[in-house]
Copies of this chain bind each other. A is one copy, B any other.
């Protein structure tokens, strides 16, 4: 059985959201224990990961050092997190595997994902990223061409395009390594967003791809049977945050689509996870699971979390 495991970017920070290198290493160690348990049970795992807190830090560095060194665009920030989280996850996973006497190697692939230069997100960006600033601070960055929005009491926040992922450009490299027996870490942060020019050349664009939608696409490309979206709650929930809250367990893709249509899932958090799970099953995946990492063994078996099936 082959599983595509999507880890939240928050799963690689400390409980209080700290994203110091030591926080990320410690959290990665905990996540990789779960993965090593799976691998020890002969599950073939491909890993992808979010990078929100990490990219947030890089944007602050860009901003505060801009008078001395040139800032790098958002696609470069995403790329940077693929390598830092990639090597930290490899280190942690290999240690956990060795502890269990499992002889498997990890590999981390720099992964680009193609998006459409005419994606509506580039005209009307909607994805909030990075830290909150005051109106005056935001105004300076708006003058530099960025889009910032007033987000209530917390202040102003940058919004960027979150375009639809169309093609994992480095999927063939990922597949070659999976076939050669590696546990591959790929498409971090949903992939480095690139567009194809009219003359066929690729180049990066300032955007953030949803990592779960990227995971759904990668999962099909590497022939995963199961997509597991690991998050900080045990299930998708109906009437979330109300007295009628009710965790969703086994559900058909049609049923889950209906619930999504009724507005049960927040657009910035559970919404894209539900969408990604549905897409994976609609495109031929056996089932998709939304679960926390603590229950990963049962989740992969379809016995825990929100299990989305095609019935």
Contacts and interface: CB of A to CB of B under 8 A. Distances in A.
Given A91-B204, A176-B177, A204-B91, A83 B68 contact: no
Interface stretch (A102-110, A154-162, A264-272): A102-110
A217 interface: no
A91 B201 contact: yes
Contacts of A18: 70
A301 interface: no
Nearest to A107: B173
B72 A84 contact: yes
Interface stretch (A73-81, A121-129, A135-143): A73-81
B95 A110 contact: no
Nearest to A75: B87
Interface string A181-202: 0100100000010100000111
Contacts of A117: none
Contacts of A110: 82-83, 86-87, 90, 107-110, 185
Nearest to A53: B69
Contact of A84 (B60, B80, B177): B80
Contact of A61 (B21, B61, B98, B107): B61
Counting chain B CB atoms within 10 Å of each CB, the highest count among A64, A83, A107 belongs to A83
Contact of A80 (B80, B94, B173, B185): B80
A69 B61 contact: yes
A107 to B, nearest CB: 4
A20 interface: yes
B91 A203 contact: yes
B94 A202 contact: yes
A94 B172 CA distance: 14
A60 B65 contact: yes
Contacts of A68: 60, 64
Contact of A65 (B25, B61, B176, B201): B61
A57 interface: yes
Q: Which 3 A-B pairs have the closest CB atoms?
A: A108-B110, A83-B83, A107-B173
Interface of A: 18-21, 25, 57, 60-65, 68-70, 72-73, 75-76, 79-80, 82-84, 86-88, 90-91, 94-95, 98, 105, 107-110, 112, 170, 172-173, 176-177, 180, 182, 185, 192, 194, 200-204
Given A60-B65, A83-B110, 5 more contacts: A76-B84, A90-B110, A90-B202, A98-B201, A176-B180
